[in-house]
Amino acid sequence: MDRNQSRWQVALMRQSLFDQGYLDEQFIQLEELQDDANPNFVEEIVTLHYRDSSRLISNIEQNLERNPLDFDKLDNIMHQFKGSSSSIGGKKVKAECTLFRDYCRAENGEGCMKTFQQLKKEYAALRKKLEAYFQLAKQAGPTETACRSK
């Protein structure tokens, strides 16, 4: 595959992440911070997010196993997770976080459990899609990170 075709594939994959609702404008803002001095900035931020957020997911799981549920504590942990997910532009994950927090405020344990399962699916799906995107971008070459479709 030639370089231009590779870059086109990267651009299409990136656009599909927005079209499918996985990413929002925050991801674009991260990309705008990337430059020649730090060409892997976005990937590094996303990697840090997934490393750090796995601890928050574990904390939520542990707290969901407690009886009775401490909805304030769950809401606080999810607030941190939502902020982290928002920082990388994780649109679907952020929406699930908002729903989970709504269930916390309503003290609806069943709603929290169901939403958390969906959140973990969205979280894993975004991770897989971003890993594939970054891999393809590396194969296409370093100039791709500066090339953005609008």
Q: How many CB atoms lie within 10 A of CB 144?
A: 21
Please give the model's pTM, rounded to 2 decimal places. Answer: 0.88
Cα–Cα–Cα angle for 19, 11, 44, nearest 5°? 90
User: In this predicted structure, what is the pLDDT of residue 62?
Assistant: 97
Domain region containing 14 = 3-146
Question: CATH code at 57?
Answer: 1.20.120.160
- For residue range 23-65, list pLDDT tens digits in order: 999 999 999 999 888 889 999 999 999 999 999 999 999 999 9
Q: How many domains does the chain have?
A: 1
